[in-house]
Amino acid sequence: MSVLDYDAAVNRDGADAARYNAADILSLGGVAVLLCLTAVCRRQLDAGEAAWLCAQYCALGLLIVASAALASRGSVYRVLHDFSPVVTIICVFNSLGPLIHTVNPVLWDARFAALDARWLAPLAVSWPQVLGRPSWLTDAAYVAYVLYYPLPVALAVLLYARGSADGFRAFVFAVLTTFFASYLGYFLCPTLGPRVPPELEATLLGGGAISGGIRLFLHFVERTQTDAFPSGHTAVALVSLSCAWHRSRRAFAVCTPVVAGIIFSTVYLHYHYVSDVIAGIALAAGCLWLAPRLQPACAPREWISLVAAMRNVIR
């Protein structure tokens, strides 16, 4: 069944449900939780910051609703709607910093550093020093690190182009689940990771012009810093690799070295403790189990029926 055939079938079953999918419901739920959290913590936040966060979350909610409402007006709107989670994830991630600091200001770095030193010392010491940190390896590690961003999008585009509606929606929902689960980890265990101060990165991490350019890019796009535990890079990359394995062996062959490079770069570039990576592996496994079970619960018809029932009770 193609994506267009799927949408036509949903339209026949009900216009209201056709406007939304499970990813919309999950995104709206996540944004609503963050909006409520901002309202609860508004007195602890800077007044301007609280207002800005509320405005962002309201705008995101409206964007999700609007993109769903416009999806039936043509193929361009449908594509924009189906890929709207990309915008949601980027905006949500970069808004989390102030909220995390307000909700849980105690950093867990000392605990994870001690955990690495006690149980994972050989790996934690040797991993960042592989081959003596040659410049070419650092450049390659930075390239691998940023490939994390286009990797899930590229796989989603592949599934979409193949007309695999069920596969596309299942993958998007699994990735969204993984992102939101990792965000929960950031709130529970805020961790900076073994980061190198920006002014010392060139000296201590090495690399050439490629590394320097990517470092500037990361300083600009990664606004939330307490995001080390669990390793979202590891979790999302492994969830993407699992999708590639089930949907396209050729894509799996291409993605395997990319994912290996992403995971290697997390510790090599001092963004994560080894324990963060292990937690990311566990998170990926958990989300791969949870997502197919959670997706039916987020089916639009379930929520539309619930809202209708609540309206009847109120009336």
Q: Which residues contact 253 (CB under 8 A, 6 or more apart)?
A: none
Distance of alpha carbon 145 from alpha carbon 112, whole angstroms = 21
Q: Where are the alpha helices (DSSP H) in the chain?
A: 3-13, 15-18, 22-40, 47-70, 75-82, 85-103, 109-119, 121-126, 135-147, 150-161, 165-188, 201-205, 209-221, 232-247, 249-268, 274-294, 300-314
In one-letter notation, the amino acid at residue 89 is: I
Per-residue tokens: 245: 């394995």
Q: How many alpha carbons lie under 13 Å from residue 171 in its C-beta half-sphere?
A: 29
Q: Is 237 exposed, middle or buried (0-12, 13-18, 19+ CB in 10 A)?
A: buried
pLDDT at 187: 98
Residues 94, 47: Cα–Cα separation, whole Å: 18
Q: What is the pLDDT of residue 19?
A: 76
Number of domains in the chain: 1
pLDDT recorded at residue 6: 40
Residue with tokens 């949500």, as numbered in its chain: 92
* 92, 64 contact by CB (below 8 A): no
pLDDT < 50: residue spans in the chain = 1-15
- Reduced 3-state DSSP string for 256-275: HHHHHHHHHHHHHCCCCCHH
pLDDT of residue 143: 98
DSSP 128-141: GGGGG--HHHHHHH
- d(CA 280, CA 236) in angstroms, rounded, equals 8
Please give the residue range of the domain that contains residue 8: 3-314
Q: Is 121 exposed, middle or buried (0-12, 13-18, 19+ CB in 10 A)?
A: exposed
pLDDT number for residue 147:
97
